[in-house]
Amino acid sequence: MTLSPITLLDLVSKGSEGSGVSNFSELDYNNNNAYLRRDGQVYEINIINASLNKDTKENFFLKKGDIVFIDKNSDGVFVLGEFDKPGFYVPGRNHSLTQLISTRVVNQLTANMKKIYVIRENTNKSFYVDVFHLNADDPTNLIAANKFILKPNDIVLIQPAELTKWNRVISLLVPQANIINSYRDAGNK
């Protein structure tokens, strides 16, 4: 904080300094909520509305004692397996499985496109999950996947191809074989 007055968006942009983000639409705040605690009350704020609206109703000045919390991860999904960058991803609202597959980089050399799974917690039963399977080798299945809307905390997993699994096992064994051969060479000297 500085001695000069600061708005909510000023605070958010200062929090993203060094991230290379130049505008608010790149921050993935379209699904994220900001909360302001002021004078014992908690207010929910829509960051996108604040960034688009020139009115100070949404982009107001902060005052001493204000606490701002930005929940970036509430609407995200986990992408695992044969994605180039597995991890946590915050898609847009009503983002489909087809949109996720087309916007996240899938490693085409190692992915088994017949084995794409979405794992979702079943909220009707404790400790139950629902598992949905997509065979993306058949392009007509992508139409059905376009109707499949992702929900917060879904896990999207793309299995590796069989050859990839075999290659990974071999790549773990080859260095071990080289170590054994180097011991044999040292013993023969």
Q: What is the mean pLDDT of the chain?
A: 79
**pTM (2 d.p.):** 0.57
The third-level CATH classification (topology) of the domain covering 77-166 is Outer membrane lipoprotein wza fold like (3.10.560)
Residues in CB range of 89: below 8 A, 6 or more apart: 76, 77, 78, 79, 100, 104
Whether 145 and 94 have beta carbons less than 8 Å apart is answered as no
Mean pLDDT value across residues 10-18: 65
Mean pLDDT value across residues 27-49: 72
For the stretch 123-182, pLDDT in tens is: 788 789 999 999 999 989 999 999 999 998 899 999 999 888 888 888 888 776 666 666
Per-domain residue ranges for the chain? 8-71, 77-166
Sign, Cα dihedral of 44, 47, 50, 56: positive
Give residue for tokens 């002021």. Answer: 38
Record the tokens describing residue 6, joined without a space.
Answer: 């600061």
